[in-house]
Every structure is written in structure tokens, then in C-alpha cells.
Chain A
Amino acid sequence: MNEWQGLDDLLRSDPLDPGCDAALDLMDVYLELFLADAAPERRYPGVAAHLRGCPACEEDFRGLLAAVTGA
């Protein structure tokens, strides 16, 4: 049952993932690349890996996106 994505996500440990503090440090830069459609996940694959694995930081990212775009 290798295609159970939920379990796969639950046990995700991407070696590129630098953790919350490092991802937060770059989140503003990452977000502006994201808004500019400038492939932030290529420039900052570690941040992208972290946002996939950390619901708390992903939520902060969504909040920052809403704050910056006024959505």
C-alpha cells in the first residue's frame, strides 16, 4: 500500500529540511519569490521541504501570504 499519501506525509523526513527556525528566517524572501511566480522551491528547496513537512510553519506562511496580499 505504498501509495497511501497520508501515511507517507506523516513519516516524511526530507534531508533538505532545515527545521522551523531556518525556514522562518527565509520565509519573507521565499514568499516574495512565490508571489512573483519565480520558482521559490528551486531557489530554496529546503524551505519548500519544510513547508511540506511542518503544518505550523505552513500555517504561518498562509497567514503571511494573506497579510501581504491583503486577502
Chain B
Amino acid sequence: MGSAENEGRAGDGGRGGRSMDAESARWVRALSADGEAYEEATGRLHALLLRIAYAELNRRGSRHGITGPELDDLAHQAAADALLSITRKIGDFRGDSRFTTWAYKFVMHEVSSKLGRHFWRTAGVQLDPEAWERLPDRLGADPVRQSEARELVAALREAVDEELTERQRRVFTALAVNGVDADTLAAELGTNRNALYKTMFDARRKLRARLAANGHLPLTTARRS
């Protein structure tokens, strides 16, 4: 994978080098303080994060179907862990975005990770034995070119068997072929989204190289604008 070194947030970051806005600066001051000011700020922030966690869980509601006390649990866990990350990392916040934008992204990350853990605990990682057969449909292959699509999928399946390591095969089959949620698989494998993505990345590169060598695909990705 590439490096983000030249995409750092410092210097001429997102806000064009503007200094921190007043509201963000107030949050940073309060969260860096001691005693009562700190307690008051973390209390206020927790309430805000909890509201955002509920909103996000509701936004994703049709996909998880969780309600009642279970939903409350997830929202509270996500808000509490987001608050922990924020207070731990507040020294890294430079005001390249508004404080709330920066803070909310920790909520998104925690909601995803709590949902992944919840799915793994309640349902586990479900692999569909027909997933390979369904792949052309799932990937929106042109219906009039089904036989060509099936041939490509067969070539891909062969490449998965022959080119990938055991771990890469497991990750690729779950995420790419079965559409398993990355955070659910990460919970099952005791790893995290970033490490899985790296495994997927290497698998994709190998598979594309193999399909390209056999004339099935161009080597480079057709970039969408």
C-alpha cells in the first residue's frame, strides 16, 4: 500500500492554514484542564457523543435491526470508547478540522467496531456455499454476458485457490466473495480493519496480476472519476 506521508494533516491542512476556531479551542482548553473544568467538559462531550452514536446506529438501522436495550448498550459503549480515544488523543488535535468533526469520527469508528463485534457474537461469520455462483449478479455483470462472466469468475476462483496464502484466501472469500462486514471478520479473527485491509490489498494485487497474465483483465484498474 502507499504511504500517507505526503498527505499529512499538518501545515497547509484542510482548513488552509487557518488557526483553530474559537469553539474548538474552548474544547481543547477544557479537555486539557484539571478538576472541575475537565469533569464538566467530558460530561458535556459524552452527552454529545452519545447523541451522535444513537443517530449513527439509527442511520444504519435497516442493516442491523438492533433495538431496545441492546441498541442502548451499543450506543453507550461506542460513546464511552470514543470519549476515551478523544481524551487520550486531544494533544494531537491541531484544529485542521473543527473539533466536533474530529471527535465524531471516533464515534463512527466505534459504532462500526461495536456492530462488528455484536454480529460476530450473535451470528458469527456466515459464508454462503453459493457465494461464488452468485458473484456475477452481486457484482452487477451484464445479464446478456453471463457466460463470459461465469468464465471470469471461474478464472478468479482458480486464482484464489492457487495464488493466495491460507489467510489471504480466508479474508478474500469472506470480504470480497461473501460481502462479510470487515469489522465482523476482524472480531472473528482477533484483528482489526486496517490489518484485514492490508491482507485484502495484497490478495487483490496477486489476483489481478494472475487474471491479467491470462488475458482476463487489464493489469491496471480502470479509474472512475
Contact = CB atoms under 8 A, between A and B. Distances in A.
Contact of A29 (B14, B139, B148, B221): B14
B42 interface: no
Contacts of A5: 140, 222, 224
Interface string B113-145: 000000000000000000000000011111001
11 contacts: A13-B204, A17-B2, A20-B197, A28-B97, A28-B98, A29-B13, A32-B98, A32-B101, A63-B60, A66-B55, A67-B104
B2 A68 contact: no
A62 to B, nearest CB: 8
Given A11-B211, A28-B105, A60 B112 contact: yes
Given A28-B101, A66-B56, A17 B139 contact: no
Interface in A11-65: 11-33, 40, 43-47, 49, 52-57, 59-61, 63-64
B14 A30 contact: yes
Given A12-B221, A17-B2, A60-B112, A66 B59 contact: yes
A2 B217 contact: yes
B41 to A, nearest CB: 19
Residue of B2, B109, B156, B204 with most partner-chain A CB within 10 A: B2
A31 B97 contact: yes
A13 B208 contact: yes
Nearest to A27: B105
Given A2-B222, A63-B60, A67-B107, 4 more contacts: A6-B141, A25-B4, A43-B14, A59-B60
Interface centre among A8, A10, A26, A57 (most CB of B within 10 A): A10
Contacts of A25: 4, 9
Nearest to B116: A56
A33 B98 CA distance: 12
Given A6-B140, A56-B183, A18 B1 contact: yes
A60 B224 contact: no
Contacts of A17: 1-2, 201
A9 to B, nearest CB: 8
Interface residues of B, number: 58
A55 to B, nearest CB: 7
Given A26-B9, A29-B14, A29-B97, A14 B221 contact: yes
B210 to A, nearest CB: 10
A16 B112 CA distance: 24
A56 B181 contact: yes
Contact of B208 (A3, A11, A18, A61): A11
A31 B103 CA distance: 13
Contact of A14 (B2, B13, B14): B2
B77 to A, nearest CB: 16
